[in-house]
């Protein structure tokens, strides 16, 4: 009868109940919290186990720990948004890193789109606009915090069961906005489900905030056309996607908006989620206004889509040709400022002060906040903000100096602890990243020294024909070090030599066992490492020879006991048969013993 394997509790409280699958960055599970007494039923969470190589060196493991703690702080910060899973906990156990996040009850958008495709259903204008408004709102928050998601796709958008809103999940690929690298993104490392949603610049290591916007545009296009991104045709001349919307339930304003989102050249797209949302809201207003007007016009008098294409609204034309968008934004922005009240300008002043503070200009921020007049409604808030800034700045500066000093002294744990306390404003984020860069540099130097030590230890072990230990040393060296090529070569060489020596030792054990010398046979078998290919056979022989050795020792002990008993019996018999004779009259002090 098969019994279900019961996994041990993670962190002493989380019981895994279901596996959600493995990805590039690790394994994901659904788990129940067995110690949360605030709920009548055990609450469920998503637990992510990050992929860690068990043979990494201590320096590299410390580096991974630093990255893990830094990234968990990012997730904790982003989880404040209602439509991003909250980070419940993070912990390290048995040299593995775990994240515990809020469980979003609902279905992934990929499931919804697949069902629509099977049933031949396509989104209409309202559904597409609802999707874009919801998703762009989440992206605007992520980008405003200085991060790019980098893997926006239907699988990572969950439609919540209780309100139908979208939630953005899986921040395993997140990067800072100013992240840059010359390394290209190998297609072999990209999940199949991400292909088609990743824009061209991301493959070249030039990820932009509007790379996420491209992905959203492709999802909207998929909902409207019923085609996956890989099914859409690409113009070989300009690499654009020449999709048509005449046969879809969508108005031309939204069609041009989506076309702007998915331009091949990222410089021709919307440059931020905020800009895209701003234009989107004006399209929404225009769409609603057109709907009200056309509802009172007889059907026979309404224009067909073909007629509407002849003359476009200036906003639409500007978006289509990629020329007038900035002037339109500025024009509408001026109109908005003219219609605002005086209190708005004071609120705007405080907002500018906050921007200066986040940029690290404390004195200028305080001066701006102080310029808010005392009769203003926002004056009390401005005064409280000034006091809070001064307090925060002192604490943040202290934490930064502690982190910097700890880093100089090589105390990685204290440095990480202090870095964690730094806020995510643009000013402090830049300083955080510099500290991390310095840590990486020191770690790399330490890794180089450890790599040399481990290589020497591997060579020494191999010289003593202890290839298993040599392999263990080599596997502790991270593969991305400069000695990577040598390591791979030596791993193959030592593994082959270990198999040859293991077979030699096994044959020696057979020879000893054939003459009933099981003790020597066992000694040979015990020299064979568990990592050898023949070890399953070795385990069987070890058990067999140990049993035979025990039987042999038992028989030997019994024979010894029998000999001892027989010897005692013979001695007793001899003593009982002894005869003593003497004559008192002639006794001269001697005893004659006759048997």
Q: Are strands 96-102 and 44-50 parallel, antiparallel or unpaired?
A: antiparallel
512 neighbors 521 (Cβ within 8 angstroms): yes
What stretches of 191-233 show up as alpha helix (H) in DSSP?
Answer: 200-203, 209-225
Distance in angstroms (rounded) separating the CA atoms of residues 478 and 447: 8
Count of Cβ atoms closer than 10 Å to residue 516 Cβ? 11
Residue from 199, 202, 289, 208 nearest 251 by CA: 289
Nearest partner of 225 among 124, 366, 306, judged by Cα: 124
How many angstroms separate the CA atoms of 227 and 231, rounded? 6
Question: CA-to-CA distance for 19 and 7, rounded, in angstroms?
Answer: 12
Residue 250 to residue 420: CA distance in whole angstroms: 47
Per residue, the 3-state secondary structure of 259-297, as one string, reads HHHCCCCHHHCCCCHHHHHHHHHHHHHHHHHHHHHHCCC
Please report, for residues 295, 302, 311, 445, 566, the alpha-carbon distance to residue 299 in angstroms, rounded to integers and kept in the order given.
Answer: 9, 5, 20, 75, 123
Measured distance CA(384)–CA(375) in Å, rounded: 15
Contact 572, 583 (CB under 8 A): no
Active site residue: 33, 151, 212, 251, which one?
A: 151
Burial of 89 (0-12, 13-18, 19+ CB in 10 A): middle
Q: Is 434 annotated as a binding residue?
A: no
Angle in degrees, 0-180, between the axes of helices 412-420 and 426-463, rounded to the nearest 10: 150
414 given a catalytic annotation: no
**Encoding tokens for residue 54?**
């068990």
Cβ count within 10 A of residue 5: 5
Q: What is the DSSP letter of 154?
A: G
Return the structure tokens found at 204.
Answer: 């070249």
β-pairing, 14-22 vs 87-93, is unpaired
- CA dist., res. 160 & res. 109, Å (int): 10
**Contact criterion met (CB below 8 Å) for 202 and 212:** no
- CA distances 184 to 218, 414, 512, Å, are 22, 34, 59
Contact yes or no for 166/104 (Cβ under 8 A): no
- What is the C-alpha to C-alpha distance for residues 62 and 413, in angstroms, rounded to an integer? 8
On whether the CB atoms of residues 106 and 161 are closer than 8 A, the answer is yes
- Do the beta carbons of residue 190 and residue 198 sit within 8 Å? yes
Annotated binding site: 48
Annotated binding site for ATP: 48
Residues labelled catalytic: 151
């Amino acid at each position: 009868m098969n019994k279900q394997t019961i996994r041990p509790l993670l962190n002493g409280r989380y019981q895994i109940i279901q596996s959600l699958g493995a990805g590039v960055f690790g394994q994901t599970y659904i788990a129940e919290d067995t110690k949360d007494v605030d709920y009548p039923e055990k609450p469920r969470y998503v637990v992510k186990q990050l992929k860690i190589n068990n043979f990494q060196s201590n320096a590299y493991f410390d580096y991974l720990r630093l990255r893990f703690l830094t990234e968990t702080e990012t997730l904790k910060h982003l989880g404040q948004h209602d439509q991003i899973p909250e980070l419940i906990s993070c912990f390290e156990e048995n040299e593995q890193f775990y994240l515990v996040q809020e469980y979003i009850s609902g279905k992934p958008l990929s499931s919804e789109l697949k069902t629509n495709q099977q049933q031949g259903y396509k989104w209409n204008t309202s559904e597409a606009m609802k999707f874009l408004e919801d998703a762009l709102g989440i992206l605007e928050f992520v980008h405003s915090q200085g991060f790019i998601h980098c893997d926006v796709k239907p699988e990572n958008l969950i439609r919540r069961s209780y309100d139908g809103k979208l939630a953005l999940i899986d921040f395993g690929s997140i990067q800072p906005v100013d992240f840059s690298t010359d390394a290209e993104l190998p297609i072999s490392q990209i999940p199949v489900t991400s292909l088609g949603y990743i824009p061209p610049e991301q493959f070249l290591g030039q990820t932009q905030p509007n790379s996420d916007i491209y992905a959203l545009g492709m999802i909207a296009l998929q909902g409207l056309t019923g085609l996956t991104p890989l099914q859409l045709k690409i113009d070989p001349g300009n690499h654009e996607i020449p999709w048509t919307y005449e046969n879809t339930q969508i108005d031309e304003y939204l069609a041009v908006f989506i076309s702007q989102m998915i331009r091949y050249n990222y410089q021709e797209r919307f440059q931020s989620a905020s800009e895209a949302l701003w234009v989107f809201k004006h399209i929404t207003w225009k769409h609603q206004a057109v709907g009200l007007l056309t509802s009172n016009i007889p059907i026979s008098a309404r224009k067909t889509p073909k007629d509407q294409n002849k003359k476009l609204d200036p906003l639409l034309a500007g978006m289509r040709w990629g020329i007038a968008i900035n002037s339109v934004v500025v024009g509408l922005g001026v109109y908005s400022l003219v219609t605002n009240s005086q209190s708005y300008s004071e609120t705007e002043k405080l907002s500018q002060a906050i921007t200066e503070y986040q940029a690290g200009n404390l004195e200028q921020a305080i001066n701006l906040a102080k310029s808010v007049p005392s009769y203003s409604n926002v004056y009390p808030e401005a005064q409280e903000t000034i006091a809070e800034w001064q307090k925060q700045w002192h604490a943040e500066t202290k934490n930064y100096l502690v982190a910097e000093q700890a880093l100089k002294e090589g105390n990685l744990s204290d440095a990480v602890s202090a870095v964690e306390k730094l806020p995510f404003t643009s000013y402090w984020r830049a300083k955080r990243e510099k500290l991390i860069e310095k840590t990486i540099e020191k770690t790399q130097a330490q890794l180089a020294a450890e790599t040399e030590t481990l290589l020497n230890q591997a060579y020494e072990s191999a010289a003593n024909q202890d290839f298993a230990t040599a392999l263990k040393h080599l596997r502790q060296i991270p593969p991305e070090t400069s000695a990577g090529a040598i390591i791979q070569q030596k791993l193959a060489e030592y593994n082959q030599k270990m198999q040859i020596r293991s077979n030699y030792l096994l044959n020696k054990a057979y020879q000893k066992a054939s003459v009933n010398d099981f003790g020597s046979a066992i000694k040979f078998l015990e020299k064979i490492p568990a990592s050898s290919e023949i070890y399953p056979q070795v385990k069987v022989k070890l058990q067999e020879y140990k049993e035979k050795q025990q039987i042999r020792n038992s028989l030997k002990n019994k024979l010894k006991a029998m000999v001892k008993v027989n010897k005692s019996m013979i001695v007793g018999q001899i003593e009982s048969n002894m005869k003593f004779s003497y004559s008192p009259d002639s006794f001269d002090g001697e005893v004659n013993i006759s048997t």
